[in-house]
Chains A and B, each alone.
Chain A
Amino acid sequence: MARARHETRIAWLKANLFSSWGNTALTLISLAIISIVVVRFLDWALFSAVFSGDDGAACNKPGAGACWPFIAHKFGLFMYGRYPDAERWRINLTYALALAGLVPLMLPHVPGKLWLSIYLVIVFPVVGFVLVTGGIFWLPHVATELWGGLFLTLVVASVGIAASFPIGILLALGRRSALPIVRWVSIGFIEFVRGVPLVTVLFMASVMLPLFLPPEVTFDKLLRALIGVALFSAAYLAEVIRGGLQAIPRGQYEAADALGLSYAQKMGLIVLPQALKLVIPGIVNSFIALFKDTSLVLIIGLFDLLGIVQQSISADPKWFSPQTAATGYVFAGFIFWIFCFSMSRYSAFLERRLASDRR
């Protein structure tokens, strides 16, 4: 029995790694790449790394690897920005409230999805907004200039996607509308936004938005960035939702018309519920793209996770060492990667489940 298993393993190796000379060469080259990269990375991150110290001097020795104390000392800054220490529990509580709604919503067989959605769409935003901004009850106000780090990244990405959702639905419906002017306005907006880089949209939001408004109206810098991000994301989301609308069989539209439903009833009760369910994986993918794109807000002077890491690397002489920057980038990259990778796995899982549902 053991011998048989041994033989199948050898057969597997032969078939998959050493089937020909060319194949063997590829295997050896791959092994070489893997060993060099893995060994060098492990050496840098663990064996030669510095694990303790109070400033950059501890990491400033020849041959030293990663400067982990830099991360340890700045961890709070990277997670919450300059949000006051004493008030950080408010952010943590907001995270907990979000997870309490999100986790059961994301698991397939938990009942009460409708109530969870209502909680997430109506109750949570209000409670979360009050918690993190403060200024009423006994909660001290925390100005948005102090927000930063991963917290700001999550705020921009989730407010961006939440605000862009209704706009995206309207644009998608508009693009498929029978009314020509509605259709052209929607197409114009969608193609305009999709045709320009996010950087220029952010520039526009930060430089031109104040010019567009009457002088007495002033906007917070964060709010300006959020408007830019939401409009940008809405155009992309509209295209995702349009894909779902197109996938709904014609018969569904015709049946709704035959029942005498109004346009709003037809879309709201028949078409959209089915279409949105179909495009959940696409929406998750848009969220991943938006989550990565939030790093661009550093260009207009907001300190998201990447922005605050970049600032700590370049503007903090106390932690100056040859490995500080690399350590910071690897850390930030790892955090972004965890979020994006797990979301993309979740989206793939949903896609498989949808495929089996429809079979």
Chain B
Amino acid sequence: MSLDWLYDRKTRGLIFQIALLIGVAAFFVEIGLNTAANLRAQNIATGFGFLDRPAGFDISQTLIPYSSNSTYGRVFWVGLTNTLLVAAIGIALATILGFIIGLARLSSNWLVARLATVYVEIVRNIPLLLQLLAWYFTLLISLPSPQADVRLLGVGVSDRGVYLPAPVWQPGLGAVLVALLAGIAGAAGIGVWARRKRLATGEQVPAFWYGLAAVIAPPLLVFLALGAPLSFELPKLGRFNLEGGIVLLPELMALLLALTLYTAAFIAEIVRSGIEAVPRGQKEAAAALGLRPWQVQRLVVIPQALRVVIPPLTNQYLNLTKNSSLAVAIGYPDLVSVFAGTVLNQTNQAVEVILITMGVYLGISLLTALAMNWFNARMALVER
């Protein structure tokens, strides 16, 4: 019998792949069987039934209604919303700060550029967890105790958190909201109209200002016409604590500070390299066409820099979201802290809890990757 088939590339590839498939399957079957046996031996329940059982513990920050009678499933949603809250605010702040520092690194002012460089080199070379612990500690010792009753302009400050005035929903505010939505739709319409007009006639319309007016004016007019239907609940000193209003926990503030300052250093580097990647000739050509310096930046440099900047920027956003899981170290009730921490300890259902937690982060990453691919495809089409 001829053994030629053994030396055929396709056959070899096929055999190798089948072997790999069997190996991977055997691996999962093996750990599956072991896990089942171990769980039985330790008398740990399996399945997702625990999600419907009452949790029996309190959570310090809940964006959705929650009490200690709520279920473990509810804990999951509380943790997830808390994670998303930190990620959303952190991303916004880190982007702003990162762009400022990135531009400062390119400043013609020698001192400003050096200062920005020093910031970047210090912050990104120290572990985030260390920065987080240090900020948390700094906040706790520098904020006053609730008994000191520090309140200013309706904002109360204590080491249990910063208490902001909470807007109280009153009849009529819905109409203001409708007016706001209508204003936003109007602004979008103005944008489309201005673009069409520019393409057709070459005439520039100050669309930004028109749009801004369209967003602000209608809700403001409705608000005033209805006699300002809005009141605030102000924080006041309770028996042990400040009470009332919207509370920003010190854990939340420390987490935001650490994530923002750390990620901003990386974003600054991305912004800097993106702007440096725009060829000098582009700026010179734009200037030669008679564009003003701000037009050169807005119409020529920034659109081209963004194409380089956006993929790594998205990566940093994902990093920030994943890094928000360090919340577990200071006890901010994020997904990992309350779900993969407290729920896991109470139910012992490590497999289900960890899989759900990982699944959430994985889902966020994959959704972002899909959005990025769509965005990149769009950006590439613009290229001529």
Question: Do A333 and B325 touch across chains, with their CB atoms under 8 A apart?
Answer: no
Tell me, yes or no, whether B169 is within 8 Å of chain A by CB: no
Chain B positions within 8 Å of A336 at CB level:
125-127, 130
Cα separation A200 to B24 with both chains bound (whole Å): 22
Q: From DSSP, what is the main secondary structure of chain A's interface residues?
A: helix
Which chain A residues numbered 211 to 239 have a C-beta less than 8 Å away from chain B? 211-215
Tell me, yes or no, whether A1 is within 8 Å of chain B by CB: no
Question: Do B130 and A329 touch across chains, with their CB atoms under 8 A apart?
Answer: yes
Count of interface residues, chain B, beta-carbon cutoff 8 Å: 54
Tell me, yes or no, whether B41 is within 8 Å of chain A by CB: yes
Chain B positions within 8 Å of A204 at CB level:
354, 358
Q: Which of A24-32, A131-139, A160-168 contacts B (4 or more CB under 8 A)?
A: A24-32
Tell me, yes or no, whether A10 is within 8 Å of chain B by CB: no
Tell me, yes or no, whether B89 is within 8 Å of chain A by CB: no
Tell me, yes or no, whether B111 is within 8 Å of chain A by CB: yes
Tell me, yes or no, whether B326 is within 8 Å of chain A by CB: yes
Question: Do B35 and A292 touch across chains, with their CB atoms under 8 A apart?
Answer: no
Cα separation A337 to B126 with both chains bound (whole Å): 5
Q: Which of A44-52, A58-66, A68-76, A173-181 contacts B (4 or more CB under 8 A)?
A: A173-181
Chain B positions within 8 Å of A207 at CB level:
344, 350, 354
Cα separation A288 to B121 with both chains bound (whole Å): 13
Produce 1/0 per residue, B324-335, CB < 8 A to A. 011011000000
Tell me, yes or no, whether B129 is within 8 Å of chain A by CB: yes
Cα separation A16 to B114 with both chains bound (whole Å): 12
Residue in chain A with minimal CB distance to B368:
A195
Tell me, yes or no, whether A119 is within 8 Å of chain B by CB: no
Which chain B residues numbered 342 to 365 have a C-beta less than 8 Å away from chain A? 344, 350-351, 354, 357-358, 361-362, 364-365
Chain B positions within 8 Å of A333 at CB level:
126, 130-131, 134
Chain A positions within 8 Å of B130 at CB level:
295, 306, 329, 332-333, 336
Cα separation A306 to B128 with both chains bound (whole Å): 11
Tell me, yes or no, whether A87 is within 8 Å of chain B by CB: no
Chain A positions within 8 Å of B370 at CB level:
none
Q: Which of B102-110, B252-260, B295-303 contacts A (4 or more CB under 8 A)?
A: B102-110
Tell me, yes or no, whether A100 is within 8 Å of chain B by CB: no
From B21, B111, B124, contact of A30 by CB (8 A): B111
Tell me, yes or no, whether A55 is within 8 Å of chain B by CB: no
Residue in chain A with minimal CB distance to B321:
A197
Distance in Å from the Cβ of A347 to the closest Cβ of chain B?
A: 12
Determine which residue in A31, A33, A333 has the highest number of CB atoms from chain B within 10 A of its CB, and name it: A333
Distance in Å from the Cβ of B368 to the closest Cβ of chain A?
A: 9
- A23-B109 contact, Cβ under 8 Å, with A181-B21, A182-B17: yes
Distance in Å from the Cβ of B352 to the closest Cβ of chain A?
A: 11
Which chain B residues numbered 106 to 143 have a C-beta less than 8 Å away from chain A? 107-112, 115, 121-122, 124-131, 133-134, 137-138, 141
- A337-B125 contact, Cβ under 8 Å, with A33-B115, A326-B137, A329-B133: yes
Tell me, yes or no, whether A123 is within 8 Å of chain B by CB: no
Produce 1/0 per residue, A164-201, CB < 8 A to B. 00000000000000111110010000011011111110
Chain A positions within 8 Å of B21 at CB level:
181
Tell me, yes or no, whether B336 is within 8 Å of chain A by CB: yes
Tell me, yes or no, whether A310 is within 8 Å of chain B by CB: yes
Question: Do B111 and A329 touch across chains, with their CB atoms under 8 A apart?
Answer: no
Produce 1/0 per residue, B180-214, CB < 8 A to A. 00000000000000000000000000000000000
Chain B positions within 8 Å of A16 at CB level:
108-111
Residue in chain A with minimal CB distance to B350:
A207
Which chain A residues numbered 10 to 37 have a C-beta less than 8 Å away from chain B? 16-17, 19, 23, 26-27, 30-31, 33-34
Residue in chain A with minimal CB distance to B122:
A337
Tell me, yes or no, whether A42 is within 8 Å of chain B by CB: no
Question: Do A329 and B137 touch across chains, with their CB atoms under 8 A apart?
Answer: yes
Tell me, yes or no, whether A298 is within 8 Å of chain B by CB: yes
- What are 22 A-B pairs with beta-carbon distances under 8 A? A16-B108, A26-B107, A30-B112, A181-B17, A182-B20, A197-B325, A199-B328, A200-B325, A200-B340, A203-B340, A211-B38, A215-B41, A292-B125, A292-B126, A298-B329, A306-B129, A326-B138, A332-B130, A336-B127, A337-B126, A340-B124, A344-B125
- Sorted nearest first, the 9 A-B pairs with minimum C-beta distance are A195-B365, A340-B125, A197-B322, A16-B110, A212-B31, A292-B127, A197-B325, A181-B17, A295-B127
Chain B interface residues toward A at CB < 8 A? 13, 16-17, 20-21, 24, 31, 34-35, 37-39, 41, 107-112, 115, 121-122, 124-131, 133-134, 137-138, 141, 322-323, 325-326, 328-329, 336, 340, 344, 350-351, 354, 357-358, 361-362, 364-366
Chain A interface residues toward B at CB < 8 A? 16-17, 19, 23, 26-27, 30-31, 33-34, 178-182, 185, 191-192, 194-200, 203-204, 207-208, 210-215, 288, 292-293, 295-296, 298-299, 306, 310, 322, 325-326, 329, 332-333, 336-337, 340-341, 344
